[in-house]
């Protein structure tokens, strides 16, 4: 009888995991992809820092292993086992209070400045991820593949490469714009050899780059949409790493993110005023009325445009500010939630002050309010200059809130533009524009508002959107196949 092989064991390293610690899409992916991979037949452990929110959420976490200082600036620490957070998914917490016991954002202080010791904080996370992958005798849990995410864990493949690790690594890029660059002088104190500071190692324009190291030295590179996998190899979107990505293109693949279709489901969503589905879309109007009342917007027939976004140049926030007055003049209302660059936050507040009852701006992030905006808005705006995948446009489709997006990255992969042809064949799900300009944004919103005035066409777009599925099942199967390709022959 053939011996049954054990499931593939994946160590998933991430600096965030929703709902406890989240600044963007990475937190959502870290919460949703591991359970999906587990359903596809793998076993997963997530390793993430023990921030205060996680310490509070898992007070019964027990010490799994104590690790002595692995480098001059990487002191001793512990890894705590918080138990199973989903079937087949366990949570490990990197416990180092001097690095992670800080309130608020994981990366920046209250003034928006990066923590000055981020090089040691995320150097430690990367080093511990690598150590765990190679020390199953200490943990009792063998690791077949180490899956790293964004710059915060991207130094782990470098540790594997230079310190003789045998576990293969996957490096997923959620946003290429953030490199994690630090002075060359940090190398020795991180426990990396000086010989690694080369163009084909961890060096990037005279600095140590965590992300460059991961992309250069991992076994496989993935990113979060097929279109972004192509875009990131171009000078326009490559953030200086396009040459390396073209060089490694045979090991690069784009796998479209999914969404948690149980959490983001208007038929069961406890956060919204009235639940509905594709057959009861008339109930969506109750959510619009409730959202207007909550945000202090006038109760009229104007189309309500929702925005839930980081306030940043990448997200096209400046384009929205530039055309905000014009959108109001066109008859639109705006419900905006987000935080980010301080000048943009201030400009959004000024926009709301100029248009009381027409524009609402909430600075900060509120998960429940994000759900209510998806349910209550008539349209959802994402004018991103680049967007590796994007999740909100998929939430919007799920909620029958046609998205207005720029044709880039995952937005191009997920939204079908409304044209005479797509209206005729019933495939239209939203509105797409090409140029990153206020003029193009305004023209696209104007086009959407014209269609909005035709209730039959608008309802058709909503129904098509709601019947488009973006669950994690397909992505999980593709990741499983990728993991299997890295296993030794016969495994």
pLDDT in tens, 386-430: 999 999 999 999 999 999 999 999 999 999 999 999 999 999 999
Q: pLDDT confidence of 490, banded at 50, 70, 90?
A: low
At residue 372, does pLDDT exceed 90? Answer: yes
- Tell me the Cα Rg of the chain: 23
DSSP string, 105-140: -SSB-TTSPBPTTHHHHHHHHHHHHHHHHH-HHHHS
Average pLDDT, the chain: 96
- Could you tell me how many residues make up the chain? 491
32 and 123 Cβ atoms separated by less than 8 Å: no
CATH class of 281-466: alpha beta
* The 203-204 sheet, strands edge to edge: 181-182, 207-209, 203-204
Sequence spans of domains, the chain: 9-258+473-486, 281-466
1 or 220, higher pLDDT: 220
| Mean pLDDT confidence for 271-298 | 98
DSSP string, 172-238: EES-TT---EE-TTHHHHTT--GGG-STTTTEETTEEEHHHHHHHH-SEEEES-HHHHHHTTSTTTS
Q: Pick from 94, 180, 84: which is nearest to 132 by CA?
A: 94
At residue 202, does pLDDT exceed 60? Answer: yes
Q: Pick from 82, 86, 29, 87: which is nearest to 57 by CA?
A: 82
Cα 376–Cα 380–Cα 384 angle in degrees, nearest 5: 155
> Does 22 belong to an annotated binding site?
yes
Q: Which helix (H) or strand (E) holds 360?
A: strand 359-363
Name the token pair of 69: 């200082």
Burial of 3 from C-beta contacts in 10 A (0-12 / 13-18 / 19+): exposed
Which option is the CATH number for 9-258+473-486: 3.10.620.30, 3.30.43.10, 3.40.50.2000, 3.90.1720.10?
A: 3.40.50.2000
Name the token pair of 98: 């001097």
d(CA 129, CA 454): 54
Residues 6+ apart with CB under 8 A from 214: 148, 151, 153, 154, 155, 156, 157, 158, 169, 171
| pLDDT, position 102 | 93
The two domains 9-258+473-486 and 281-466 share their CATH topology (first three levels equal): yes
pTM confidence score: 0.90
352 and 383 Cβ atoms separated by less than 8 Å: no
| pLDDT, position 487 | 95
At residue 379, does pLDDT exceed 50? Answer: yes
Residue 356 DSSP SS3: coil
Q: What pLDDT digit, counting tens, does each position of 430-461 carry?
A: 999 999 999 999 999 999 999 999 999 999 99
In 214-225, which positions are buried (b, 16+ CB within 10 angstroms) versus exposed (e)? Answer: bbbbbbbbbbbb
CB 334: neighbour CB atoms within 10 A?
Answer: 25
| pLDDT, position 3 | 53
| pLDDT, position 270 | 97
Q: Do you find a cis peptide bond into 19, omega within 30 degrees of 0?
A: yes
296 and 357 Cβ atoms separated by less than 8 Å: yes
214 and 154 Cβ atoms separated by less than 8 Å: yes
| pLDDT, position 1 | 45
């Amino acid at each position: 009888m053939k011996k049954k092989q054990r499931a593939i064991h994946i160590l998933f390293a991430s600096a965030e995991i929703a709902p406890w610690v989240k600044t963007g899409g990475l937190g959502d992916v870290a919460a949703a992809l591991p359970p999906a991979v587990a359903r596809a037949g793998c076993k997963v452990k997530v390793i993430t820092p023990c921030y205060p929110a996680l310490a509070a959420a898992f007070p019964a976490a027990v010490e799994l292993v104590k690790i002595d200082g692995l480098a001059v600036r990487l002191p001793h620490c512990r890894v705590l086992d918080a138990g199973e957070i989903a079937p087949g998914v366990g949570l490990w917490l990197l416990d180092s209070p001097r690095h992670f016991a800080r309130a608020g954002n994981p990366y920046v202080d209250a003034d928006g400045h990066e923590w000055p010791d981020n090089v040691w904080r995320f150097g430690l996370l990367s080093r511990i991820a690598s150590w765990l992958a190679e020390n199953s005798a200490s943990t009792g849990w063998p690791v077949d593949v180490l899956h790293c995410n964004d710059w915060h864990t991207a130094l782990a493949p470098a540790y594997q490469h230079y310190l003789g690790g045998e576990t293969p690594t996957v490096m997923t890029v959620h946003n290429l714009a953030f490199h994690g660059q630090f002075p060359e002088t940090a190398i020795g104190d991180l426990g990396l050899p000086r010989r690694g500071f080369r163009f084909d190692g961890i060096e990037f324009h005279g600095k140590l780059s965590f992300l460059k190291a991961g992309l250069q030295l991992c076994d496989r590179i993935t990113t979060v949409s097929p279109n972004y996998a192509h875009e990131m190899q171009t000078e326009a979107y490559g953030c200086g790493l396009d040459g390396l990505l073209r060089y490694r293109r045979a090991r690069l693949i784009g796998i479209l993110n999914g969404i948690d279709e149980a959490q983001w489901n208007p038929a069961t969503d406890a956060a919204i005023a009235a639940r509905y589905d594709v057959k009861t879309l008339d109930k969506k109007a109750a959510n619009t009325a409730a959202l207007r009342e909550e945000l202090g917007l006038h109760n009229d027939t104007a189309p309500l445009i929702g925005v839930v976004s980081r306030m940043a140049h990448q997200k096209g926030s400046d384009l929205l500010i530039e055309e905000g007055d014009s959108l109001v003049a066109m008859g639109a209302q705006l419900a905006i939630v987000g935080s980010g660059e301080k000048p943009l936050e201030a400009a959004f507040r000024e926009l709301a002050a100029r248009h009381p009852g027409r524009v609402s701006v909430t600075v900060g992030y509120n998960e429940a309010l994000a759900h209510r905006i998806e349910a209550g808005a008539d349209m959802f705006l994402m004018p991103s200059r680049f967007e590796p995948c994007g999740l909100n446009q998929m939430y919007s489709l799920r909620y029958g809130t046609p998205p207005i997006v720029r044709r880039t990255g995952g937005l191009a992969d997920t939204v079908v533009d409304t044209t005479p042809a797509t209206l005729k064949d019933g495939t239209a799900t939203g509105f797409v524009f090409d140029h990153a300009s206020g003029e193009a944004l305004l023209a696209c919103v104007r086009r959407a508002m014209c269609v909005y005035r035709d209730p039959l066409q608008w309802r058709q777009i909503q129904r098509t959107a709601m019947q488009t599925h973006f669950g994690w099942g397909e992505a999980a199967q593709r990741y499983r196949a990728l993991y299997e390709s890295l296993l030794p022959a016969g495994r």
